[in-house]
Amino acid sequence: MYSTIGSHLEIEPTSLPGVIVITPARFGDHRGFFSESYSAKALAKHGITIQFVQDNHSLSMTRGTIRGLHFQAPPHAQDKLVRCGRGALFDVAVDIRKGSPTYGQWFGAELSFENGKQLLVPAGFAHGFVTRAPETEIIYKCSDYYAQETEGAVAWDDPQVGIDWGLGDMTPVLSDKDASAPTLADLNSPFTFEGL
């Protein structure tokens, strides 16, 4: 048994208030490691009291796969807590709350099996990622259930947002839906900034 197990978290605020990088501690020995990848009690100590109701798990076979930028509109808006189960990905949040001082701005974090980092993406932010390695798995918790009728998206390559996906000369692998998503200028966002 690992002798120093506890709910230890590293919390890093980002340039977008509410978007947080969370790194749970890992406790290792000659066998490998153990980590509490999620602890409501530990997060509550840092003021994060979101109730998550659904876990999602997806596999992207090819490096350079982009999924996003996605959101669910109220009344089924979702906070998401994202981590990488295998491989590596670059995870992105974009503020789409009308009236927000950071509207249209983005933040991205490298999440990998190796670094164990997680990204908290609050409701009111579009979310997407690009895979950095083949056979990458993303696992994320949601604060509301999937509701297809509330799904929305923003174009991954919207020049107004200007996300640097780090693709170089690589052509991304996209779904038809993501390839035809509207730009932020064409989106009537269902979210309104309500202060911090």
Catalytic residues: 70, 140
| Paired strand residues for 11 | 22
